[in-house]
């Protein structure tokens, strides 16, 4: 199994937690880097301290050097929108383990300033040069950091809102924006329970207490949740989140109109695909009455397994991969313009090199074909294309080693921050933050 080498000692996840923490603590204070043993030579990692615990993390820009079936493997950034923002909007410091995010939206509001259009619209994406994360880009980043864009067969039936929330909060740990911990500004609703409703409400109020401060400048927070309904209210509209029945997020009629226009495709997919979920990310404030009002908003449609998709052909691709029990990483767009190509997914069960899967919807322009050809030509990994106006070609077969009982598909992944294999573990009692 893939363990970690600490100088002359290899430690795996069968080791006691205290023993592993001792090795991590020594590595954190030493000069020698631990190695992930997914390759014969090992891949350097680094150790960060999060709260009172030490975690082992992938070194920046080394995701492609890990074995494709390793939890630390990351497809080449240029195959998704990550390549545009990595190193500028997302800056990782391996000395202290802190990742600094540059956001293109504000977490404060002065006076009666009118909220900008929902993040992610075409004009916004053109304006953003990769130096800052849009609201949609922030959601995609946290989704990827949480491992929610990764899939392997043993995950079937294990993902719930409890799991999604748990790993989103873990993904936010160690992230800062303008010197402030992102976790303080992030609200993700707890799984609702009638028996625990009072406690859930009290924790929500406590977490949002800073929003109630009076003054010329009001603080805002980021909310991530699943949409239950978008409905009319007495003076506008509201988003009711699942697991949050008694705390709607209000939005103005103007913002609602812009939502309907900008995210028409996402709303149509959610409406037509029964087992899909519609997730939202917003900045919001809380007024003197305790009511939440949305300032900026973006939405993302995800499959029954919480994997994002952009159109029906994307969804068919995900369904085919899931039915065939394949291991893959879904590409996310971040700030990337809608007309820019990206890999739908990368097959991680094909060795020694994974395969990038591309889906071309019917009716695309020649310039789109040229852009895809350029992307494929500049990539070092093999490609597979489905032009959705034609029958789907046979997918590349999984390598024998990646599907055998001795492969990492059948092992527990060593403890590491945001390891997606942990999603398959049994859920325990939930805590708020």
pLDDT tens track for 75-104: 999 999 999 999 999 999 988 889 999 999
Residue 362 within any structural domain of the chain: yes
Q: Judge whether residue 357 has pLDDT over 50.
A: yes
Residue 69 within any structural domain of the chain: no
Residue 3 within any structural domain of the chain: no
Q: What is the mean pLDDT of residues 151-161?
A: 95
Residue 246 within any structural domain of the chain: yes
Same structural domain for residues 274 and 318?
A: no
Same structural domain for residues 266 and 320?
A: no
Same structural domain for residues 238 and 379?
A: no
**By the 8 A CB rule, do 132 and 125 touch?**
no
Q: How confident is the model at residue 110 (pLDDT cuts 50, 70, 90)?
A: confident
Same structural domain for residues 138 and 276?
A: yes
Q: How confident is the model at residue 406 (pLDDT cuts 50, 70, 90)?
A: very low
Pairing of strands 221-232, 277-286: antiparallel
Looking at residue 410, its pLDDT comes to 33
Residue 70 within any structural domain of the chain: no
Looking at residue 401, its pLDDT comes to 52
Looking at residue 216, its pLDDT comes to 80
Looking at residue 97, its pLDDT comes to 87
Length of the chain: 433
Report how far apart, in Å, the C-alpha atoms of 170 and of each of 166, 395, 432 are.
6, 34, 12
Average pLDDT, the chain: 87
Q: How confident is the model at residue 128 (pLDDT cuts 50, 70, 90)?
A: very low
Same structural domain for residues 88 and 197?
A: yes
* DSSP summary character for residue 311: S
Same structural domain for residues 282 and 335?
A: no
- Helix (H/G/I), strand (E/B), else coil: 122: helix
**DSSP string for 177-210:** ETTEEGGGGEE-PPPP-GGGHHHHHHHHHHHTGG
Q: Judge whether residue 124 has pLDDT over 50.
A: no
Residue 175 within any structural domain of the chain: yes
Same structural domain for residues 319 and 289?
A: no
Q: How confident is the model at residue 403 (pLDDT cuts 50, 70, 90)?
A: very low
Report how far apart, in Å, the C-alpha atoms of 325 and of each of 345, 348, 350, 378 are.
14, 12, 13, 29
* DSSP summary character for residue 395: P
Q: What is the mean pLDDT of residues 379-385?
A: 96
Q: How confident is the model at residue 130 (pLDDT cuts 50, 70, 90)?
A: low
Residue 49 within any structural domain of the chain: no
Looking at residue 14, its pLDDT comes to 57
Q: How confident is the model at residue 191 (pLDDT cuts 50, 70, 90)?
A: very high
Q: Judge whether residue 340 has pLDDT over 50.
A: yes
- Helix (H/G/I), strand (E/B), else coil: 260: helix
Same structural domain for residues 292 and 339?
A: no
Q: Which two tokens stand for residue 155?
A: 């995950």
Looking at residue 419, its pLDDT comes to 34
Helix axes 253-262, 264-272, angle to 10 degrees: 80
How many domains, the chain? Answer: 2
Same structural domain for residues 276 and 363?
A: no
Same structural domain for residues 257 and 174?
A: yes
Residues 6+ positions from 346 with CB-CB distance below 8 Å: 75, 79, 328, 329, 331, 354, 355, 356, 357, 381
Looking at residue 30, its pLDDT comes to 81
In this structure, how many other beta carbons lie within 10 angstroms of the beta carbon of residue 396?
A: 16
Q: Judge whether residue 412 has pLDDT over 70.
A: no
Residue 6 within any structural domain of the chain: no
Q: What is the mean pLDDT of residues 52-59?
A: 88
Distance separating the N- and C-terminal Cα atoms of the chain = 32
In this structure, how many other beta carbons lie within 10 angstroms of the beta carbon of residue 237?
A: 20
Show the domain range for 124.
75-307+420-424
Q: What proportion of the chain, given as a percentage, has pLDDT over 70?
A: 86
Same structural domain for residues 84 and 229?
A: yes
Same structural domain for residues 280 and 398?
A: no
Q: Which two tokens stand for residue 306?
A: 């919480």
Look up the CATH number of the domain holding residue 342: 3.40.1350
Q: What is the mean pLDDT of residues 395-402?
A: 80
Residue 188 and residue 241: Cα distance in Å, rounded?
10
Residue 299 and residue 415: Cα distance in Å, rounded?
31
């Amino acid at each position: 199994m893939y363990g970690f080498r600490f100088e002359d000692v290899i430690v795996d996840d069968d080791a006691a937690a205290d023993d592993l923490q001792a090795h991590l603590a020594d590595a954190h204070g030493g000069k020698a880097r631990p190695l992930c043993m997914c390759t014969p030579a090992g891949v350097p990692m680094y150790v960060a301290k999060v709260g009172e615990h030490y975690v082992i993390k992938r070194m920046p820009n080394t995701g492609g050097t890990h074995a494709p079936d390793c939890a630390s493997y990351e497809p080449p950034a240029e195959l998704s929108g990550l390549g545009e923002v990595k190193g500028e909007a997302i800056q990782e410091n391996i000395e202290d383990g802190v990742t600094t995010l540059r956001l293109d939206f504000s977490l404060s509001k002065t006076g009666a300033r009118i909220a900008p259009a929902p993040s992610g619209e075409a004009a916004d994406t053109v304006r953003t040069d990769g130096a800052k994360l849009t609201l949609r880009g922030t959601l995609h980043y946290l989704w990827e950091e949480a491992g929610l864009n990764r899939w392997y067969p043993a995950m079937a039936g294990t993902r719930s809102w409890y799991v999604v929330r748990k790993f989103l909060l873990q993904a936010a740990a160690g992230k800062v924006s303008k010197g402030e911990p992102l976790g303080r500004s992030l609200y993700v609703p707890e799984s609702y329970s009638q028996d625990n409703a009072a406690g859930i409400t009290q924790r929500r109020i406590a977490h949002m207490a800073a929003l109630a401060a009076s003054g010329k400048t009001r603080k805002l927070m980021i909310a991530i949740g699943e949409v239950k309904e978008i409905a009319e209210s007495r003076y506008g509209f509201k988003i009711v989140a699942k697991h949050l029945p008694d705390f709607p997020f209000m939005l103005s009629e103007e913002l609602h109109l812009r939502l309907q226009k900008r995210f028409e495709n996402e709303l149509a997919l959610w409406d037509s695909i029964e087992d899909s979920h519609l997730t939202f990310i917003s900045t919001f404030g809380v007024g003197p009455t305790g009511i939440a009002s949305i300032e900026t908003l973006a939405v993302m449609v995800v499959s029954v397994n919480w994997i994002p998709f952009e159109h029906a052909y994307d969804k068919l691709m995900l369904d085919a991969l899931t039915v065939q029990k394949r291991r893959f990483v879904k590409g996310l767009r971040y700030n990337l313009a809608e007309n820019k190509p990206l890999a739908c997914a990368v097959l991680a069960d094909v060795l020694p090199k994974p395969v990038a899967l591309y889906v071309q919807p019917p009716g695309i322009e020649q310039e789109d074909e040229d852009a895809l050809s350029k992307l494929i030509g500049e990539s070092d990994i093999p490609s597979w294309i489905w032009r959705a106006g034609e029958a789907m070609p046979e997918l590349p077969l999984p390598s024998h080693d990646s599907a055998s009982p001795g492969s990492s598909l059948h092992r527990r992944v060593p403890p590491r921050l945001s390891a997606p294999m942990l999603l398959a573990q049994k859920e325990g009692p939930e805590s708020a933050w």
